[in-house]
Amino acid sequence: MEAVVFLFSLLDCCALIFLSVYFDLRFIMVPSGNMGVFDPTEIHNRGQLKSHMKEAMIKLGFYLLCFFMYLYSMILALIDD
C-alpha cells in the first residue's frame, strides 16, 4: 500500500510542477497593455470565453482528482495505524 501512496505523491508532484510552470508562463506572456490573463474588457469575446471555460473545467477536474487522491492517502494512513 505504501507503494501506491508513493506513486500518487510522485504523480501529483510532477503534475503540480508542470502546472506551476504553465501558470507562470501564462502570467509572464500577458501583453503589456492588458490588465492580466483574464482581461475584463475582452473576456466576452466568444473565442476567448470558450477557451477560458475549457481551461477552467480542466483545472477543476485536476483539483478534484488531487483532492480524492489526498483523501484516499489519508484514509490509508489512518487505517494502517
CA-to-CA dists, residue 18 to 13, 38, 47, angstroms: 9, 21, 25
pLDDT of residue 1: 65
- CB distance 81 to 24 below 8 Å: no
pLDDT, tens only, 3-19:
777 887 888 888 888 88
pLDDT of residue 64: 92
pLDDT, tens only, 28-73:
887 777 777 766 777 777 777 888 888 889 889 988 988 998 898 8
pLDDT of residue 46: 76
Q: Which residue has the cell 501506491?
A: 4
pLDDT of residue 60: 93
Give this prediction's pTM: 0.66
